[in-house]
Amino acid sequence: MNNLGNIVKIHEPAPLEGCGPLLTGAPDTTAGLKQRVFEVVRANGRAARADITRALNSSAGSVTSLTAELIGANLLREVEGTPREQTRGRPPVALEVVPEAAHVIGIKLSYKRHTAVLTDFAGNVVADAALATADIARSLPQLLKEIDTLIDRLLRKGQIGKARVQAVGIGMPGIIDHLTGVVQWSSLLQNRDADLRGAFGAQFQMPLYLDNDANVLTLAELWFGAGRAMTDFAVVTIENGVGMGLVLNNRLYRGAHGMGLELGHTKVQLDGALCRCGQRGCLEAYLADYALTREAAIALDHAFDSTESRQELLDVLFEKAKAGHQSAQTIFRRAGRYLSVGLANVVQLFDPALIILSGERMRYDYLYADEVLAEMHKLTLSGSRKSCEVAIHAWGDLVWARGASALALSELTDTIINAKVAAQ
∠ at Cα 156 (225, 122), nearest 5°?
35
Of the chain, the end-to-end C-alpha distance in Å amounts to 63
Q: What's residue 421's pLDDT?
A: 60
> What is the structure's pLDDT at 91?
61
Distance CA 389, CA 227 (A): 13
Distance CA(354)–CA(59), nearest Å, equals 35
Q: In this predicted structure, what is the pLDDT of residue 242? A: 87
CATH 3.40.50.1980 fits 101-218+399-422, yes or no: no
pLDDT band at 24 (very low <50, low <70, confident <90, very high): low
For the four alpha carbons of 252, 185, 154 and 414, in that order, the dihedral sign comes to positive
Q: Which position has the higher pLDDT, 316 or 129?
A: 129
Q: Is the pLDDT of residue 123 over 70?
A: yes
Per-residue pLDDT at 372: 83
10, pLDDT greater than 60: no
The pLDDT of 156-175, averaged and rounded, is: 94
Closest to 52 in 3D by CA, of 93, 84, 87, 17: 93
pLDDT at 27 over 70: no
CATH architecture of 228-394: 2-Layer Sandwich (3.30)
What residues are paired with 32 via a beta bridge? none
How much is the pLDDT for 389? 86
Q: What is the mean pLDDT of the chain?
A: 85
Pair 265, 274: CB distance under 8 Å = no
Q: Of 1.10.3720.10, 1.10.10.10, 3.90.226.10, 3.40.50.2300, which CATH number belongs to 14-99?
A: 1.10.10.10
Are 239 and 33 within 8 A, CB to CB?
A: no
Instruction: Judge contact between 123 and 18, C-beta under 8 A.
Output: yes
Cα-atom radius of gyration of the chain, to the nearest Å? 23
Tens of pLDDT, residue by residue over 368-418, are 777 888 888 888 886 656 778 888 876 777 999 999 999 999 999 988 887
pLDDT at 83 > cutoff 60? no
- Output the pLDDT for position 4: 42
In this prediction, residues 315-322 reach a mean pLDDT of 84
Average pLDDT estimate for 272-297? 87
Band of pLDDT at residue 87, cut at 50, 70 and 90? very low
d(CA 211, CA 196): 11
pLDDT tens figures, 183-199: 999 989 999 999 999 99
Per-residue pLDDT band at 300 (split at 50, 70, 90)? confident
Q: In 3D, which of 230, 227, 235, 189 has the Cα closest to residue 210?
A: 189
Report which of 248, 263, 280 is spatially closest to residue 343, judged by C-alpha positions: 263
> What is the structure's pLDDT at 1?
33
Rounded Cα distance, 313 and 330, in Å: 16
Same fold, 14-99 and 101-218+399-422: no
pLDDT, one tens digit per residue, over 223-277 is 998 888 888 999 998 877 888 999 998 889 988 776 678 898 899 988 899 998 8
Among 79, 82, 53, 81, CA closest to 66:
53
The reported pLDDT for the residue numbered 28 is 52
Where in the chain are the domains?
Answer: 14-99, 101-218+399-422, 228-394
Structure confidence at residue 239 (pLDDT)? 77
